[in-house]
Structure 1
Amino acid sequence: MQFNPWALAAVVLVAAVTFSLGYRSSRFATSTHDFLVARRTVRSRRNAAAISGEYLSAASFLGIAGIVLSEGADALWYPIGFTAGYLALMLFVAAPLRRSGAYTLPDFVEARLGSVPLRRFATAFVVFIGMIYLVPQLQGAGLALSMITKTPVWVGAVLVMVVVTINVILGGMRAITVLQAFQYWLKLFTIAAPAFVLCAVFLTSGSGGGALGSPAPPQFDERTTVSVRTGVALQVESPTLVEVRDKAGASETEVWGPETEHRAAEGSTLTFEAGSRVPVVTGGATDNESWVRPGSSGLEGLLKTYSLIFATFLGTMGLPHVLVRFYTNPDGKAARRTTVHVLLLLGLFYLFPVILGALSRIFVPQLLVTGETDAAVLLLPMAMVPGVWGQILGAVIAAGAFAAFLSTSSGLLVSVAGVLSTDVLPGRVRDFRLAAVIVAIVPMVLAVTVKSGGLSLSVGMSFALAASTFSPLLVLGIWWRKLTWAGAMAGMSVGGGLVLIALVFNVTVAAGGGIAPWWTLQPALFTVTAAFATTVLVSLATRHRIPDDVNRVMLRLHAPDRLGFMRDRAVARFGQAEERVRMARGRHRK
C-alpha cells in the first residue's frame, strides 16, 4: 500500500479532536466519584452511544471484515454474537447490577457474597481480561498506521496509548463518556459512507460481477506479487504456479498442489500470473462455494460455531469495561433502557463491515495469501477507486479505525485503573491516575513484543475468558440465592484456568509454526459449561456459607427503582469490607 497523506491527516485530526474533547470534559471531573462512574448522571441515550463507541473495537472495525473475507458465511456469527450479547445482558444483568450500588465488578462481588478473598480474586481476572483485550487494540492501531504511513508497527500502538492515557488521567469516566459517544457516530459515518460509495462503484462498473456466486476459488486478475511479512502456511484448491523469492533474493518457480500445505517464509515474495487461483491461509475457505455456504466444514465447524456463540453471547456480560458503564446510569430502569438503545446502534453498525468484507474477497484477494485480512477495509478503497478519490475514501476509513482504537482503549483503561485504584491502592484521585499509568505501560509493551494474530480471534479469546469467569458469577449471583463465595471462586478458577491453559497452548503452537486445534482457539463451549457446573455443585456442597444478608441484597437487586431500596456504596475508601456494616445501618447516600 502506497503512502496516503490524506489518511495521515485524518489520523492526526482524530487524535487532536479526541485529546481536545477529553481535555474539555476533564475540567468537570474533581472527585473519585467523577473518575469512576461520572457521578452516576449519564442518561440512557448518551450512555448507549458511549457504550457502542467503546464496544466497537478493532475487532469490529477491522476484524469483522477480515474474517468475512477469509471465512465467509460462518463469520457472520461474530457480529451476531457481539450484538446479541447485549440482549442477554439486558435480560439478566443490567438493571440489578446498577441497583447494587457498586462502583466496580469486584465491588459488586463483595456486596453480593461478602468475601474479601473472592473480591481480590475477581480483581485479578478484571485486570487480566482488560490487559489481553487492550493488546489487540494497540496491535490494530500499529497495523493501521503502518499500512497508511509505512511507519514501524509500534508507532501506532504508542500513539494510541499516549493519547488515551492523558485523557483518562485528566478526567477518568467523566472525560471519556462524551468522547466515546462522539466516537460512535464518527465510526458509523466513516464506515457507512465509504461502504455506500464502494457499493455504488461495484454495481456501476460491473467489475468482478458474479465472482462470489461462482463455485471457483477467487483469482488474480493480473500478475501479482505478494510480500510475506510474517511466515504463513497456505493451501490451494487446484495446482497453482508460483514464483517464490526468498529474503536473500534467490527465486524458484514451483507448482503448488492441493494435497499438501505450503510454507511461505517471513520476508519472502510470491508472484502469481494473471488468472491464478488465490491460495489461502490454512483453515480458510479455499473456494467461493464453501465461502458462501454456512456450516460447510461439517461437525467440527458446527461445534466451533456453538463455542463462538457461547463466548460472544455470554462474554459480553462479563467484560469489565462494558459493565462499568452501567454503573454510570442514574437507576436500573435507565440501565435497561440503555441496553435497548445499544442493540439498535450495534445492529446498524455491523451491516457495513460485512459488506466491505464481501467486496474485499473480489478486489484484495492477496490478503488471503499474507493472512493480513484485518487490513481489508484499509486497502479496499484504493483497490476499487484508484487515484486521489480512493485515497480520500481510505482516509475516511482510517479515521474511523483510529476512533475505534481510541474509544475502546479508553474504556478498558478506565475500568482496569478503577479496579486497581480501589482494590490495591487507597482509592483517591491520584491513586486512580497512578493506576492508569501502570495499566497503560504493560499492554503497550506486550503489543510491541507479542506476535499479532487475527483481531477478531484475539478478542474472541477475551470474550471466552469473560464468559467462563464472570458470566456464571453474575447470572447465578443475581438470580440464585444459594450461590456461595466458595462456589463462585471454584467456578472462576475452573473456567478461567481452562481458558488460560488454552491461551498458553495456542501461543506455544503458533511460536512453533503449527496450527492449534479449534477447541483451544474457541474453548468457550467447554469452559463455560465447566464453570457453571462447578459453581453450582460447589455452592450446593457449601450451603453453610450462604451470606446471612442474602435476602436483603436480593431485594435491593430486584425491587423496582421507585420503591427506593437502591443505595450507592459511597465511602471514603472504596472496597472496604467493613462498609457492609455501614450499609446495614443505612449510612450511605441515596
Structure 2
Amino acid sequence: MNPVFDLAAVGALVVITAVLGFAGIRTSRTRSDFFVASRSVGSVWNASAISGEYLSAGTFLGLAGLVLLSGAEGFWFPIGYAAGYLLVLLFVAAPLRRSGAYTIPDFVEARLESRAVRRVTSVVVLVIGWLYIVPQLHGASLALGVVADVPPWVGGVVVAVLVAGIVAAGGMRAITAVQAFQYWLKLTALLVPAVFLLIALAGDGTAIDPARVFPVESGPGALDAYATGSLLLALLLGTIGLPHVLVRFYTSPDGASARRTTVAVIVLIGAFYAVSSTMGLIARVVAPDLAAPGVADTVVLALPSRLFPGLTGQLLTALLVAGAFAAFLATSSGIIVSLAGVVSQDVFGGGVRSFRLSAVLCTAVPLVIALLTQPAGLVSSVGLVFVFAASTLSPVLLLGVWWTRLTARGAVAGMVVGAVSCGAALVAGAALRDTAGGAVFFSQPAAWTIPLTTAVIVLVSLADRGGVPLRVDRYLARLHTPDV
C-alpha cells in the first residue's frame, strides 16, 4: 500500500477543515455565536452538520467490520442508530429548542429550578462526551497506522489538536460548516468505492452466494432475544441522551425548524448506513480473511486494493482514508463544543474566553485517556456510550419534557442510580465475557438499567411532595406551544 496518496488525502482534509473552521473567527464574536451559532442555522445545513457529527468512527469503519464479523446481526446497529432520531423527532427536538437553553444542564436547571441537579447533569454530560471521543481518537490512530508507518499515537494527536483549535477559534458557528462539509465527504468517500467494487464484482463474474453473505447460523433464529432487544432499547433511547446531538437543535431558528432538521437527518443518516452496510457485505465476499476482532475495523480501507491493485485502488483507498478522518474530526468537534459549553458556564463563568479555554481542556482529557488505553471494537465502544446515556440522561430529559411531577431530587437519584448500575454492569460483563449464561445480562444491561432509572426517578419524585417547581406548568406550556 502506497502511503503517499493516503497522507496527501489526510493533509488535504486537514487544510480544508482548518480553512472552514478558522473562517468562523470572522463571524463568531458573541457568546451566542460560540454556543448555538446565534440560533440561525437552516434545516438542510443543520441536518448535514448533525449527520456529520453523528456518523462517527464506529459507523464509518466499525459498522462494515461488524457486518463482516456478524452478518445480518450487525444490521441492528444502523437500525437502532437511525430509529433513535425518530424518537428525538417525536419527543424532544422542538421542546428543547423552545426552551431557549444553550446546553443540556441549562435546560435541566431551568426545568427543575435547582443548581444541584445542574451539577450532576454536567458531570454526566462530561462522562458521556469523553467516553464518545476516546473511540474517535483510537480510530484515527488505527486508520493512520494502517496506511502509513507512523507511531500509533500520531492519528489521535492530529485529530485532537485540530479539533481543539477549530472549536476554540470559532465555536458552534465555525464547526457547523466543517461538519456539514464532512458529512458529504464521508458519504462520497464510501459511495464511490462501493460503486467501483460492485461493478468490479459484477464484471469479473464473481458469483455471490447468499449463504456466504448471510449464513443460516447467523440468521434470525440464532439471535439472542434479550441481547438484541436490550441493544435496540439502548440505541433508540441513547440517541436522546447524547449531548452533542441535542445541542445542535438549539441552533435552529425555532421548534418547527428543529423538527424539519430531524426529518432531514433521518434521511441523510439512513442513506449513509445503507452504503456503509453494503461495504460490510462486500467485505464478506472479498475479504473474509479479515474477519477477526481488532482487524475487521480496518476492512473498509483494505477492500479497494483487493480488487484494484494499481493506481485506481490507491486513489480509492486515499478517498476512504480522508472520509475516515472526516468522521473522527466531525464527531469529536461536535462533542467538544457541547462539553466546552458546559464547562465554560459551570466552571469559568460562560464567556467567550472561558469557552476557548474549556475547549482545550475538554480535548486534553480524552486524548490522555486514548493514549493510555488500547482500542477495542469501534462499534462496541460507541455502543457502550449509548447504553450509559440511555441509563442516565435520557429518562430525565423525557420526563422533564413530558411529566409535570418530576423533581430535582428524583432526577438526581435517577442519574446516580443509572450511572452506578450501568457502570457496574458493564464492568461485570467484561469480567464474565468468556462465560455463558448471565454474562449477556450485564454486557447488555439497558433492558433493566433504563427501567430501573425511570422507576427511581418516578418514585423519588412522587415521594418528594414539596419538590415540584412552582412555575412548572408555565415552563412546560412554553415547551409545547407550537411556533407561530
* Range of TM-score over shorter length: over 0.9
Q: How far is 1:366 from its partner?
A: 2.4
Report the counterpart of residue 521 of structure 1 in structure 2: 443
Cα separation, 2, equivalents of 1:503 and 1:26: 42
Cα separation, 2, equivalents of 1:399 and 1:557: 41
One-letter amino acid of the counterpart of residue 315, structure 1: G
Counterpart of 2:473 (choices 521, 546, 551) is 551
Q: How far is 1:392 from its partner?
A: 1.0
Q: Is 2:330 the counterpart of 1:407?
A: yes
Report the counterpart of residue 47 of structure 1 in structure 2: 46
8 Å contact from structure 1 (residues 74, 295) kept in 2: no
Report the counterpart of residue 366 of structure 1 in structure 2: 289
8 Å contact from structure 2 (residues 293, 377) kept in 1: no
Cα separation, 1, equivalents of 2:417 and 2:231: 19
- CA gap of 1:479–1:466, structure 2 versus 1, over 3 A, is same
Report the counterpart of residue 423 of structure 2 in structure 1: 500
8 Å contact from structure 1 (residues 295, 302) kept in 2: no
Q: Is 2:294 the counterpart of 1:296?
A: no
- CA gap of 1:134–1:514, structure 2 versus 1, over 3 A, is farther
Q: Is 2:121 the counterpart of 1:122?
A: yes
Cα separation, 1, equivalents of 2:343 and 2:441: 33
8 Å contact from structure 2 (residues 197, 304) kept in 1: yes
8 Å contact from structure 1 (residues 137, 408) kept in 2: yes
One-letter amino acid of the counterpart of residue 294, structure 1: P
Report the counterpart of residue 463 of structure 1 in structure 2: 386
Higher strand share: 1
Cα separation, 2, equivalents of 1:169 and 1:369: 39
8 Å contact from structure 2 (residues 432, 439) kept in 1: no
8 Å contact from structure 1 (residues 59, 455) kept in 2: yes
Report the counterpart of residue 195 of structure 1 in structure 2: 194
Q: Percent identity?
A: 50
Deviation per residue, 1:265-310 (Å, 9 max, x gap): xxxxxxxxxxxxxxxxxxxxxx93323x12414xxx1111111111
Q: How far is 1:384 from its partner?
A: 2.1
Q: Is 2:355 the counterpart of 1:432?
A: yes
8 Å contact from structure 2 (residues 294, 376) kept in 1: no
Q: How far is 1:497 from its partner?
A: 1.4
Report the counterpart of residue 344 of structure 1 in structure 2: 267
Cα separation, 2, equivalents of 1:306 and 1:39: 40
TM-score by length of 2: 0.97
Q: How far is 1:352 from its partner?
A: 0.8
Q: How far is 1:204 from its partner?
A: 1.4
Cα separation, 2, equivalents of 1:143 and 1:549: 51
Larger Rg: 1
Cα separation, 1, equivalents of 2:345 and 2:231: 33
Q: How far is 1:211 from its partner?
A: 3.9
Matches for 1:121-520 after TM superposition, within 5 Å? 121-207=120-206, 209-214=207-212, 288-291=215-218, 293-297=219-223, 301-369=224-292, 371-506=294-429, 517-520=439-442
8 Å contact from structure 2 (residues 65, 291) kept in 1: no
Cα separation, 1, equivalents of 2:259 and 2:62: 29
8 Å contact from structure 1 (residues 307, 523) kept in 2: yes
- CA gap of 1:367–1:76, structure 2 versus 1, over 3 A, is same
- CA gap of 1:402–1:526, structure 2 versus 1, over 3 A, is same
Which consecutive segments of 4 or more residues in structure 1 shift more than 3 A? 503-510, 513-516
Q: How far is 1:180 from its partner?
A: 0.6
8 Å contact from structure 2 (residues 52, 182) kept in 1: yes
Report the counterpart of residue 80 of structure 2 in structure 1: 81
- CA gap of 1:509–1:445, structure 2 versus 1, over 3 A, is farther
8 Å contact from structure 1 (residues 40, 329) kept in 2: yes
8 Å contact from structure 1 (residues 109, 118) kept in 2: yes
Cα separation, 2, equivalents of 1:36 and 1:154: 30
8 Å contact from structure 1 (residues 212, 362) kept in 2: no
How many residues align? The count is 483
Deviation per residue, 1:378-417 (Å, 9 max, x gap): 1111112212211111111111111111000000111001
- CA gap of 1:451–1:212, structure 2 versus 1, over 3 A, is farther
Q: How far is 1:506 from its partner?
A: 5.0
RMSD: 1.7
Cα separation, 2, equivalents of 1:494 and 1:548: 26
**Local SS of the residue matching 1:386:** coil
**Local SS of the residue matching 1:499:** helix
Q: How far is 1:519 from its partner?
A: 2.8
8 Å contact from structure 1 (residues 99, 556) kept in 2: yes
**Local SS of the residue matching 2:68:** helix
Deviation per residue, 1:241-268 (Å, 9 max, x gap): xxxxxxxxxxxxxxxxxxxxxxxxxxxx
Q: Is 2:463 the counterpart of 1:541?
A: yes
Cα separation, 2, equivalents of 1:525 and 1:198: 39
One-letter amino acid of the counterpart of residue 103, structure 1: Y
Matches for 1:44-123 after TM superposition, within 5 Å? 44-123=43-122
Q: Which moved more, 1:385-394 or 1:417-426?
A: 385-394
Cα separation, 2, equivalents of 1:38 and 1:111: 21
Highest relative contact order (Cα 8 Å, sep 6+), 1 or 2? 2
Q: How far is 1:559 from its partner?
A: 0.9
Give 5+ residue unaligned stretches, structure 2: none
Cα separation, 1, equivalents of 2:270 and 2:239: 15
Report the counterpart of residue 19 of structure 1 in structure 2: 18
Cα separation, 1, equivalents of 2:317 and 2:435: 34
Cα separation, 1, equivalents of 2:398 and 2:44: 25
8 Å contact from structure 2 (residues 25, 174) kept in 1: yes
**Local SS of the residue matching 1:369:** coil
Cα separation, 1, equivalents of 2:274 and 2:356: 38
- CA gap of 1:370–1:117, structure 2 versus 1, over 3 A, is closer
Q: How far is 1:56 from its partner?
A: 0.6
One-letter amino acid of the counterpart of residue 153, structure 2: W
One-letter amino acid of the counterpart of residue 425, structure 2: A
One-letter amino acid of the counterpart of residue 210, structure 1: I
Cα separation, 1, equivalents of 2:210 and 2:295: 20
Deviation per residue, 1:74-112 (Å, 9 max, x gap): 111100111110100000000001111111000000110
Cα separation, 2, equivalents of 1:95 and 1:324: 12
Q: How far is 1:122 from its partner?
A: 0.2
